[in-house]
Amino acid sequence: MTVLLAGATGLVGGKLLSGLLAKGQPVVCVGRRASGTVHPQLVDMLVDFAALPPLPQAETAICALGTTIATAGSRDAFRAVDHDAVLAFLLASRKAGARHAVLITAVGSDPAAAAFYSRVKGEAEVGARAMGFEQLDLIRPGLILGARAESRPMETLMQRLAPVLNPLLVGGLTQFGAIPARTIATAIIRLSGTAVPGVHIHGNTQLRQLALDSG
């Protein structure tokens, strides 16, 4: 079963790639630049998401694409990645036969949100729902913990505060806490092997449980 993976050069995407390959999973990385990994089960497919070619046939598509407005440089550039590229990849995956899609968005994703970031993430979820995947897993983590290649000063500050803030978030507030990128990747790898039709939303609590259940 081949997995199509977009966003393999990112924080969660990189851990997804290494975890999938460690399980012997064939992976096609779809991205603007090579994954930087050499493996007999890996194919790098360099693409322009604005003019995406047909993708290889696959059962599962995992989308870990994402940026920030500061990194992208503008709201339009952010939307081009977190909405347009995301939906282009998922649509091409659906046409390639993928029945199962996993999409990483963020806590608070809502097409009616006042915050631009959350609204764009929510609109991407709406688009993904409309594509007719047999199984769609929407991943909504809080602050993602881990070392990034790019500079995100505010995120770095929040990561340093996470050990203090996380214990204060109880009940429903736990969804807004920090969660390690490795935990998210482990949970998604477990989900990639499931067959549970429908749309499923996974926040911090569900992701931690999936990672624990993976052994």
The CATH number covering residue 47 comes to: 3.40.50.720
Cβ neighbours around 210 below 10 Å, total: 21
* Whole-number Å distance between alpha carbons of 2 and 213: 23
Confidence tier at 197 by pLDDT (50, 70, 90): very high
Asked if 79 and 66 count as a contact pair (C-beta separation under 8 A), the reply is no
Model confidence over 64-76: pLDDT tens digits? 999 988 889 999 9
With a CB cutoff of 8 Å and minimum separation 6, the contacts of 32 are 46, 47, 48, 49
Average pLDDT over residues 90-102: 98
* pLDDT bracket for residue 143 (50, 70, 90): confident
DSSP assigned state of 56: P
The structural domain count of the chain equals 1
User: What residues contact 42, with CB distance under 8 A and at least 6 apart?
Assistant: 17, 21, 26, 27, 28, 29, 35
Predicted confidence (pLDDT) at residue 156 exceeds the cutoff of 70:
no
Residue type present at position 48? D
Q: Would you tell me how many other CB atoms lie within 10 Å of the CB of residue 64?
A: 27
Q: Which domain holds residue 90?
A: 3-213
Total-model pTM: 0.88
